[in-house]
Amino acid sequence: MQKFKVTFFPDNLSVTVEQDKTILSAAISAGVYINSSCGGDGICGRCKVVVKQGRVNSQPNGIITAQERKNNVYLACLTTIHSDLDVFVPDSSRINFDKLTPEELEERLSGLYSKSEDVLPAQENFEDKFFKHSPFATKIYLELPEPTLNDSVSDLERLYRALRNFGEFPAIETGLFNIRQLGELLRDYAWKVTVTLGRRNDAVEIVLIEPGDTTGTNFGLCFDIGTTTISGQLVNLNSKKILGTKATYNQQAAFGSDVITRIVYAAKTDGLEKLHNAVSDTMNQIIKDLVSECQVDLNNVNCIVCSGNTTMIHLFLNMDPSHIRRQPYVPTANFIPVLRASEAGININPRGLLSCVPGVSSYVGGDITAGILSSRIYQKEAPCILIDIGTNGEIVLGNRDFLVACAASAGPAFEGSGVTSGMRASSGAIQKVSINKDDFAVKYSTIQDKLPKGICGSGYIDLLSEMLKVGIIDKAGKIKAEGRRIRTTDTGKEFVVCFKEDIRSQADIVINEADIENLKRSKGAIYSACAILVKHLDLEFSAVHTIFIAGGFGTYLDIEKAINIGLLPDLPHSKFIFIGNSSLAGSREVLLSNQAKTMADSLALKITYFELSVNPEYMEEYSQALFFPHTDLTKFPTVKF
Amino acid sequence: METQIVLEKWPGVISTVSIGATKAEGGTRSNVVKIGGQTAMPLLFREGVIPNKPKIAFEIWDIAPLDFDEELLCAYGKAIRDPFAWAEVCVNDYKAELLCLKMQGTHPDFGNKTPQDAAKFVSTLLHKVKVPLVILGSGDDFKDNLVMPVCSEAAKGERCLIGCAVQENYKTLVASVLADGHNIIAESPIDINIAKQLNILISDMGLALERIAINPTIGALGYGLEYAYSIMERARLAALSGDKTLASPFICFVGQETWKTKEAKVSPQQGIIWETLTATSLIQSGADLLVMRHPQAARNVSKHIEALFRE
């Protein structure tokens, strides 16, 4: 097979690939990240590149316009390589893998923008002292009595005996590696050692034996593995102090933007391996950054707890996810036993342990268990709702007596995928919008006040609400007004949010009727899932005490506008609490407390999974929700347009 | 022992749509046809007030019909070749209370008459017959948006019922109906949610909910009639329970649906029976205005209505 050299500009990165490979796969090999929301099916049109030199072969598609064809624009995923190539990758086709800035993180992880004032930062909601401090890994300093003729038990038994003085351990185990070095270690260091104990399923494992007293340096990690964003925290297990938090985009995005596309990709040759590597690479990068910034020795990081949706956990652990998407939707495992982190390719102490917060079903994962844990809805007397809004919207309704969860396929529109000018909530994303009712002039603000590059989920909520308010769109989501900013294209009408001249960009930032339809379906799916769950339990929304909103979506959410478009039920704003990344908070609790871990296990067993797809009423509810705010206006009495 | 009959009481009321304006009201119609206004499910006279009987409108076109069955053509004789004569036969011979005029000739594939010609036709028809009018576009959205505003204007003040507004194309029609003082038909594809949404969208433009008639889209007997039946029943139950956005009378296009079926074409009698049965079934589910084609079927249904309301 002939091989060709492909060079990507302006990166000037080259890679040699076989003939007939696609430009997209060459880009992945070269480490150039090109957008590909559809996973390389030629549907999303996000991977446009310019072939400056060389011969290619491209499948026909309806996405490249005649003008673009003249300019040698191709879809990277449908274009195969037939000679050495020079390829230019425009900014608009790139995935922005920049790490989140501290400010962005601040907002992402704790909180929260809302026009209404009733917003609590994440930490306040999580009573720190609730669970007894009993971290996943504990260090104990031991001074062993030297053996004598009267006390001649073996070195290992001597160690066990000393440990038992600290408590009733069900069973203690350790690896051969530790036993081999034990004799010499004890004698060299005057019988003074520190053992690191890890909880491993029902036993206690001696993870590590070190000379002297090192109890002061015991660290752990917690992670939220999201479909879009991966967040990690480094925690001092002795003081419970959070030393650092970092988040970055999940590099799996290069293989598709939603879990289903990724499951499909995993079935391709080497697909699962690539997805697994993408997530473990991302996590290792975060870990590396955290330990170096906090000046912590990697060898003192002894354990890690992860939560994520069921698919993400499967991909992270390199387990086959294919049955998740096939009826009857059965995952390989919901409860993952404690493993060695190195088995999952995570670089911490080579003998360090890994635990995953247990999931409930294929579409309600450990992130939800963690969310329930950290929001404490399982303790509340009055029924509460937890909404975790992501590509799969997950909803939990319950209190201390019961917990019912369902998952609604909301689609990635609110995460900025599958919409014309959509982008993730990162630097340069429009997040707040107001529109003048007379001339439709748009006022907006962007994340970090950069020039706008696109619109993120919260920006879309504001935009829809404002467009309804000033009468640009009707309640069905069709553009009805006319003006300088409204124009008709081949695909229908669109509203120009920013003209390209004003933002020094190649393209206008627009929202068209198809985008609105997409967003309408997303908000409809989430609202109707909540409504069905409430109805199924014979409750009314008014009986719900508090609604916790979690997820990257809730980051800059304006409650009033979210109610205006019918995403959230019309309740007093004081009933809504944004809890930011509840999955990360929950996994931190599991990291720090064995009680929390036991609680998470029992919660995952206690949660009743409610399958919406077999519920005949869901379609009916969903159809009613495909209107702004809702076909039944009496459900949204405070919304007036 | 006397049997106790349980009666439902409904809080809602279906709005009354008046079609046609007499001289006193600024129009030139000889009579006004009222539909709707009931406070009970169909024919349950003891549960509420049912002030208006279901009405029948005769369907006519602005051109000689192209695909009508032989049986239908025979019923009108030579008159069917001249739309005005056709209209007069309906009114004079078959005592039509109102006419439903379809502007089929404006369709790009069926003559492509100009909006001006269409408007002229409406003016002339209004002059020749004095019964109230329902006016329908040809079904081509683009052309209808050119034709219907001028037809509406030509009939200004006559309080016609004009249709059909659909979710994808309602603004132009609503604006005309508002300007010229007519009522509107809101058409939804056998979907209670879209019916409701369209009513909201229309009322958002300033046209009162009381000036809307719902076309729920029906199928003829054997062609989905029961589906339409249940949608109409559900909508009516919701309306009587107090949902104002669904409290509009129903207009059902019985003739056009019936005569499409192959059963209607089997024999002269069977077509008439098919149209009669489709219409009478729809009356059970709440139809207020039946648009029919065959005069004999219309007569059958009219007799049936009289019998039902004889109490």
Nearest CB to A480 within list B171, B197, B200? B171
Q: Which of B171, B193, B204 sits opposite A631 (nearest CB)?
A: B193
ipTM of the modeled complex: 0.80
Out of A623, A624, A633, the one facing B200 most closely (by C-beta) is A633
Together in a domain, A297 and A239: yes
A494 and A562 housed in the same domain: no
In A251-407, which ranges are continuous DSSP H helix?
Answer: 259-266, 271-294, 310-316, 366-375
Contact status of A641 with chain B (Cβ, < 8 Å): yes
The residue to which tokens 């593995």 are assigned: A225
Q: Which of A631, A632, A639 should be substituted to probe chain B, the one whose Cβ sees the most B Cβ atoms within 10 Å? A: A631
Q: Kindly determine whether residue B193 and residue A626, on different chains, have CB atoms separated by under 8 Å.
A: yes
Does the distance separating the beta carbons of A641 and B204 come in below 8 Å? Answer: yes
Which residues neighbour A90 within 8 Å (Cβ) at sequence distance 6 or greater?
Answer: A48, A49, A50, A506
Do A250 and A272 lie in a common domain?
yes
**Chain position carrying tokens 């007499």:** B22
Position B303: which residue type? K
Confidence band (pLDDT; 50, 70, 90) for A410? Answer: confident
Residue A323 has a CB neighbour count (10 Å cut-off) of 15
Q: What is the pLDDT of residue A96?
A: 60
Q: Tell me: the pLDDT tens digits for A428-486?
A: 889 899 999 999 999 999 877 889 989 988 899 999 999 999 999 999 999 999 999 99
Query: Nearest-CA distance from B256 to chain A in Å?
Result: 29
**Chain B residue with the nearest C-alpha to that of A641:** B204
Nearest chain A residue to B199, by CA? A631
**Arithmetic mean of pLDDT, A348-353:** 88
Answer yes or no: do A311 and A225 share one domain.
yes
Q: Nearest CA of chain A to the CA of B196: how many Å?
A: 7
Contact between chains at B197 and A478 (C-beta distance less than 8 A)? no
Q: Please give the Cα distance from B20 to B206 (Å, whole number).
A: 21
Say if residue A612 is in the same domain as residue A629.
yes
| Predicted confidence (pLDDT) per residue in A16-35, tens digit | 988 888 898 888 778 787 87
| Angle B201-B206-B207 from CA coordinates, rounded to 5° | 80
What are A443's strand-pairing partners? Answer: A434
> For residue B197, what is the nearest residue in chain A, using CA coordinates?
A631
**Do the Cβ atoms of B193 and A480 come within 8 Å?**
no
Domain membership of residue A77 (yes or no) is yes
pLDDT computed for residue A114 by the predictor: 21
3-state secondary structure of A91: helix
At residue A43, does pLDDT exceed 80?
no
Interface check for B190 against chain A (CB to CB < 8 A): the answer is no
For residue B257, give the amino acid letter: E
The beta-carbon neighbor of A475 closest among B171, B193, B204 is: B204
Percent of chain B surpassing pLDDT 90 = 92
The 10s digit of each residue's pLDDT in B128-143 is 999 999 999 999 999 9
What percent of chain B lies above the pLDDT cut of 70? Answer: 100
Domains in chain B: boundaries:
54-308
Domain contains A271: yes
Q: Is the Cβ of A474 closer than 8 Å to some Cβ of chain B?
A: yes
CA distance linking residue B190 with residue B187, whole number of Å: 9
Q: Is residue A283 a contact partner of residue A277, using CB atoms and an 8 Å limit?
A: no
User: How far is Cα A428 from Cα B45, in angstroms, rounded to an integer?
Assistant: 65
- In chain B, which residues have their Cβ closer than 8 Å to the Cβ of A566? none
* pLDDT of amino acid A199: 83
Residues 6+ apart with CB under 8 A from A19: A1, A2, A3, A4, A80, A81, A82
Q: Are strands A353-356 and A137-143 parallel, antiparallel or unpaired?
A: unpaired
Contacts of A285 (CB under 8 A, 6+ apart): A248
Spatial contact of A519 and A356, defined as CB atoms under 8 Å apart? no
Q: Are residues A530 and A483 in the same domain?
A: no
* Chain B residues 231-250 with a CB less than 8 Å from chain A: 243, 245
Domain boundary among the residues A515, A534, A569 is at A515
CB-CB neighbors (< 8 A) of A631 in chain B: 193, 196-197, 200
Exposure b/e, A57-77, CB count within 10 A at least 16 = b: ebeeeebbeeeeeeebbbbbb
| CA proximity to A244, closest of A106, A96, A448 | A106
pTM recorded for the entire structure: 0.76
Test B200 with A623 for CB contact under 8 angstroms: no
- The CATH class, in words, for B54-308 is alpha beta
CB atoms near residue B227 (< 10 Å): 14
* B127 CB within 8 Å of a chain A CB: no
How far apart CA A565 and CA A476 sit, in angstroms, is 11
Cβ atoms of A403 and A607 within 8 Å: the answer is yes
Total structural domains within chain A: 5
- Give, in order, the Cα–Cα distances in Å from A67 to each of A71, A164, A539: 7, 77, 56
Q: Is residue A370 part of a domain?
A: no
Find the residue in B nearest to A624 (Cα). Answer: B193
- pLDDT (0 to 100) of residue A116: 20
Pairwise CB contact (< 8 Å): B200 & A478: no
Residues of A in contact with B200 (CB under 8 A): 475, 627, 631, 633
Give the integer Cα–Cα distance in Å for A442 and A462.
11
Q: Please report whether residue A132 resides in a domain.
A: no
The fraction of chain A above a pLDDT of 90, given in percent, is 49
From A184, A211, A238, give the residue that closes a domain: A211
**Structural domain boundaries, residue A430:** 418-515
B172 touches A: beta carbon within 8 Å? no
Does A71 share its domain with A89?
yes
B-chain residues near A480 (CB < 8 A):
171
CATH of the domain at A17: 3.10.20.30
- Taking contacts as CB-CB distances below 8 angstroms, the residues of chain A near B191 are 623
d(CA B16, CA A37): 52
Indicate if A392 and A439 belong to the same structural domain: no
Q: Is A492 on the interface with B (CB under 8 A)?
A: no
Q: What is the mean pLDDT of residues A81-96?
A: 85
B189 close to A (CB below 8 A):
no
> What pLDDT, on the 0 to 100 scale, is given for residue A556?
66
- Looking at residue A6, its pLDDT comes to 92
End-to-end CA distance of chain B: 25
User: How is residue A533 written in tokens?
Assistant: 């769950």
Residues of B in contact with A624 (CB under 8 A): 193
Domain match, A547 and A404 both? yes
Q: Which of A465, A418, A461, A466 is nearest to A440 (CA)?
A: A466
The structure tokens listed for A305 are 């707890």
Q: What is the pLDDT of residues A107-123, one digit of tens each?
A: 443 322 222 222 222 34
How does DSSP classify residue A353? E
Confidence label for A254 from pLDDT (cuts 50, 70 and 90): confident
Rounded mean pLDDT of A401-419?
Answer: 84
Predicted confidence band of residue A106 (pLDDT cuts 50, 70, 90)? very low
Which chain B residue shows the shortest CA-CA distance from A479? Answer: B168
Q: Could you give the angle at which helices B225-240 and B192-204 cross, rounded to 10 degrees?
A: 50
Same domain, A395 and A528: yes
In the DSSP assignment, the letter for residue A224 is E
Model confidence band, residue A36 (pLDDT cutoffs 50, 70, 90): confident
| A13-22, A541-550, B294-303, range with greatest mean pLDDT | B294-303
Give the pLDDT confidence score for residue A126 in this predicted structure: 46
User: In chain A, which residues have their Cβ closer than 8 Å to the Cβ of B197?
Assistant: 475-476, 627, 631
Mutate to test the interface with B, among A632, A636, A640, A641 (most CBs of B within 10 A): A632
The confidence score (pLDDT) of residue A613 equals: 81
| Nearest CA-CA distance, residue A588 and chain B, Å | 45
What pLDDT shows up at residue A19?
A: 87
CA distance A144 to A317: 39
Q: What pLDDT digit, counting tens, does each position of B145-170 carry?
A: 999 999 999 999 999 999 999 998 99
Q: Tokens standing for B276?
A: 């009669």
In a domain, A278, yes or no: yes
Q: Is A101 inside a domain boundary?
A: no
Q: Is A514 within 8 Å of chain B by CB?
A: no
Examine the domain organization and report whether A278 and A329 are in the same domain. Answer: yes
From B161, B168, B181, B139, select the one nearest B249 (Cα to Cα): B161
* Contacts of residue B90, Cβ cutoff 8 Å, sequence gap at least 6: B58, B60, B96, B99, B295
Domain assignment present for residue A113? The answer is no
Cβ-based contacts of B193 with chain A (< 8 Å): 623-624, 626-627, 631
What tens digit of pLDDT does each residue of B22-80 get?
A: 999 999 999 999 999 999 999 999 999 999 999 999 999 999 998 888 889 999 999 99
In angstroms, the separation between the Cα of residue A624 and the nearest Cα of chain B is 6
Domain assignment present for residue A114? The answer is no
Q: What is the CATH number of the domain that holds A341?
A: 3.30.420.480
Residue A108 confidence (pLDDT): 40
pLDDT of residue A282: 86
Average pLDDT of every residue of chain B: 95
Neighboring chain A residues of B241 at a CB cutoff of 8 Å: none
Tell me the DSSP string of A128-192: TTSS--B-SEEEEEEEPPPP-SSS---HHHHHHHHHHTT---S-EEE-HHHHHHHHHHHHHTTTE
Say whether pLDDT at B190 is over 90. Answer: yes
Distance of alpha carbon A314 from alpha carbon A245, whole angstroms? 24
CB–CB of B204 and A476 under 8 A?
no
Going from the C-alpha of B108 to that of each of A97, A565, B113, B137, the distances in angstroms are 54, 39, 8, 12
A475:B168 CB<8 A? no
Q: Give which of A472, A621, A627, A641 to mutate to test B binding, by max B Cβ within 10 Å.
A: A627
Q: Which range scores top for mean pLDDT: A175-179, A532-536, A578-582? A: A532-536
Whether the pLDDT of residue B280 is over 60: the answer is yes
pLDDT of A124: 36
Please report, for residues A157, A551, B100, B178, the alpha-carbon distance to residue B137 in angstroms, rounded to integers and kept in the order given.
95, 50, 11, 17
Out of A154, A188, A211, pick the residue that ends a domain.
A211
**What is the overall mean pLDDT for chain A?**
86
Give me the long-range contacts of A333-337 (CB less than 8 A, separation at least 24): A334/A310, A334/A358, A334/A359, A334/A360, A334/A361, A334/A604, A335/A359, A335/A601, A335/A604, A337/A201
Q: Which amino acid is at A599?
A: M
User: Which residues neighbour A20 within 8 Å (Cβ) at sequence distance 6 or greater?
Assistant: A80, A81, A82
As a whole number of angstroms, the distance between CA A184 and CA A350 comes to 21
Same-domain status, A260 and A303: yes
β-strand partners of A405: A396, A609
Lookup: tokens for A446: 């962007």
Q: What is the per-residue pLDDT for A107?
A: 44
Nearest Cβ partner for B201 among A474, A632, A634: A474
Give the pLDDT confidence of A121-180 residue by residue, as tens digits. Answer: 234 344 455 677 888 998 889 999 999 999 999 999 999 999 888 777 778 888 888 899
Distance CA B274, CA B297 (A): 8
Q: Is the pLDDT of residue A266 over 60?
A: yes
| 3-state per-residue secondary structure call for chain B | CCCCCCCCCCCCCCCEEEECCCHHHCCCCCCCEEEECCCCCCCCHHHCCCCCCCEEEEEEECCCCCCCCHHHHHHHHHHHHCHHHHHHHHHHHCCCCEEEEECHHHCCCCCCCCHHHHHHHHHHHHHHCCCCEEEECCCCHHHHHHHHHHHHHHCCCCCCEEEEEECCECHHHHHHHHHHCCEEEEECCCCHHHHHHHHHHHHHCCCCHHHEEEECCCCCCCCCHHHHHHHHHHHHHHHHCCCHHHCCCEEEEHHHHHCCCCHHHCCHHHHHHHHHHHHHHHHHHCEEEEEECCHHHHHHHHHHHHHHCCC
The residue type at A16: T
Q: What DSSP assignment string belongs to A551-615?
A: SGGGGG--HHHHHHTTSS-S--GGGEEEEE-HHHHHHHHHHHBHHHHHHHHHHHHHPEE--GGG-
How many inter-chain contacts (A to B, CB under 8 Å) are there? 29
